[in-house]
Chain A
Amino acid sequence: MATIEHAGHSYDVDEDGFLTKGMEEWNEGWVEYVKSLEGISDLTDEHWKVINALQDYYKKNGIAPMVRILSKTTGYPLKRIYELFPSGPGKGACKMAGLPKPTGCV
């Protein structure tokens, strides 16, 4: 476990850089911070659309959406999601949105 300081906020993160306390500790400063690690130069409305979709789904369902549900709700094909988040929806977008780390046989 480590603590990250960024723009006057501190965040608890695990080895993979996911927020240990999830959305509880999440704020826009976190997105700004993760951006640099995840190979994203400019945050656009499209990025926010994905982040918001993930957060809404997680709040409602308690899990991250399946990839094709994310594609359906945002209208972005997987290819676009990788253009927006080079590490992909799991490591990239979920991390930025403050969702828990994906688990299972990954």
Chain B
Amino acid sequence: MPKHDTPLLDELEKGPWPSFVSDLKRQAETKPECFDILGQVELSYKDRITHWKHGGIVGVFGYGGGIVGRYSDVPKQFPGVAHFHTVRIAQPSGMYYSTEKLRAICDLWQKYGSGMTNMHGSTGDMVLLGTTTPNLEPLFYELTHDLNQDLGGSGSNLRTPACCLGKSRCEWACYDTQALCHFLTNHYQDEIHRPAFPYKFKFKFSGCPNDCVAAIARSDFAVIGTWRDDIRIDQAAVKGYIKGEYPSNGGAHAGRDWGKFDIQKEVIDLCPTGCMWMEGDTLKIDNKECTRCMHCINVMPRALRPGLEQGATICIGAKAPILDGAQFATMTFPFVNIDAESEYEEVVEKIEKIWDWWMEVGKNRERVGETMQRVGLPTFLKVMEVEPIPQHVREPRSNPYIFWEESEVEGGWERDIREFRARHAQ
């Protein structure tokens, strides 16, 4: 495949940020179809419209998802991208790799694909960009037989779960996000590979409320670590921060002179509940008023640590705007034990409660967050078998359209108008 003139793309080789155009050109030296990728993208830059056809249904036997089919609408001009399917590969939790593993995957992809990748897709998968239909089964065969590696999810199913790097290298992780992510990925292989849901469903696992995988915004089922006892304070380290021995926020703001660290201004006055104060040179926290927002811990990581009674909050129903508006997840279970010994019994039970219900009542292409909106939070809590608590809402409703169950109202709904008229003449 010949080179194409790409004057518009060539502009993107300038500047300091790593250029995808330079990378593609280098890849084209061994994989000439990459010239056609560049050629078609250049054409799209010129025409200001995509040149991929609508949809594409390809896959491997046994699975209903994992591969996103794609065909060029200018295949004669760019035969190298006539077929350009994307293969989603399940990534390890936290995305730690050995070069040995990456080399093996690269060798495989050099053999069966364009050599171009996306490290990683937003959901977490390792994404192999661009191959043909006949290559899919042999690629899958070698992937599973030689690399002991599976595909990720696509379609109306459980998508590839992802997590923050958790306890592997973060002192704030309140549970082992990687272990839970890995366990549930294995536990629900069937739900990942064979679409059985009304629509897609995503899991994400964050070790603390900083939420480094954005679980609250990008998963239908967000497990966010927290604790329910007291923040652990090392008063000597607090003094160290006040004296300027340690940089605040681990030195995150070192690029600019923000003046001397001021614990009052930068921590106590910024606490959202105002539950902190200094008594002499001792920092005090009224933990029962703390909402565990992480701010004080983020500012003084050497001095403050999450409590020891750790678990997670489960929030449900986040989604992008389509169809009826973007949603963050709704706090449903304030504190759940994350217990590897019991094979995460409490988490599994909640997931299956949601699925049993949503698979039955969810409409075609309705995310669980939309199903929740449709039936209403009280009904949703009832099916989740959770007692409503004040923490379920940010504020009580302001409209008076309150639904009562007939059983809650004395006398029920069966009333006789004549009985009423006996007391109130027309």
A87 at the interface (CB under 8 A from B): yes
Q: Are B194 and A90 within 8 A (Cβ)?
A: no
B79 at the interface (CB under 8 A from A): no
Which of chain B's residues 29-69 have a Cβ closer than 8 Å to chain A? Answer: 53-59, 61-65, 68-69
Nearest-CB residue, chain A, relative to B200: A105
Instruction: Report the Cα distance A45→B154, complex, angstroms.
Output: 30
Instruction: Report the Cα distance A105→B154, complex, angstroms.
Output: 8
Please count how many residues in chain B sit with their CB below 8 Å of the partner chain's CB atoms: 30
Q: Sample 7 A-B pairs with CB under 8 A, ordered by A number.
A: A63-B364, A78-B196, A86-B62, A87-B64, A88-B195, A90-B155, A104-B365
Instruction: Report the Cα distance A68→B197, complex, angstroms.
Output: 8
Interface size class of A (residues with CB under 8 A): 20 to 34
Contacts of B68 in A (CB 8 A): 106
Instruction: Report the Cα distance A86→B193, complex, angstroms.
Output: 12
A15 at the interface (CB under 8 A from B): yes
| Count of chain A to chain B residue pairs whose CB atoms are closer than 8 Å in the complex | 65
Nearest-CB residue, chain A, relative to B365: A104
When the two chains form the complex, which single residue of B64, B155, B364 contacts A66, counting CB atoms closer than 8 Å?
B364
Which of chain A's residues 2-27 have a Cβ closer than 8 Å to chain B? Answer: 15-16, 18
Q: Which label, helix, strand, loop or mixed, suits the secondary structure of the A interface?
A: loop
Q: Are A82 and B62 within 8 A (Cβ)?
A: yes
Contacts of A89 in B (CB 8 A): 64
B198 at the interface (CB under 8 A from A): yes
Q: Are B196 and A106 within 8 A (Cβ)?
A: no
Whether A68 contacts B196 in the complex (CB less than 8 A), given A88-B63, A106-B65, A106-B155, comes out as yes
| 6 shortest interchain CB distances as A-B pairs | A88-B64, A86-B61, A16-B57, A106-B155, A15-B71, A39-B61
Instruction: Report the Cα distance A103→B53, complex, angstroms.
Output: 12
Q: Mark B351-367, 1 if CB is under 8 A from A, else 0.
A: 00000000110001100
**In the assembled complex, how far is the CB of residue B291 from the closest CB belonging to chain A, in whole angstroms?**
35
Nearest-CB residue, chain A, relative to B360: A68
When the two chains form the complex, which single residue of B71, B190, B195 contacts A90, counting CB atoms closer than 8 Å?
B195
Instruction: Report the Cα distance A87→B83, complex, angstroms.
Output: 19
Q: Are B56 and A16 within 8 A (Cβ)?
A: yes
Q: Mark A17-54, 1 if CB is under 8 A from B, else 0.
A: 01000000000000000000001000000000000000
Instruction: Report the Cα distance A90→B360, complex, angstroms.
Output: 20
Nearest-CB residue, chain A, relative to B364: A66
Q: Are A101 and B359 within 8 A (Cβ)?
A: no
**In the assembled complex, how far is the CB of residue A76 from the closest CB belonging to chain B, in whole angstroms?**
12
Contacts of B195 in A (CB 8 A): 67, 88, 90
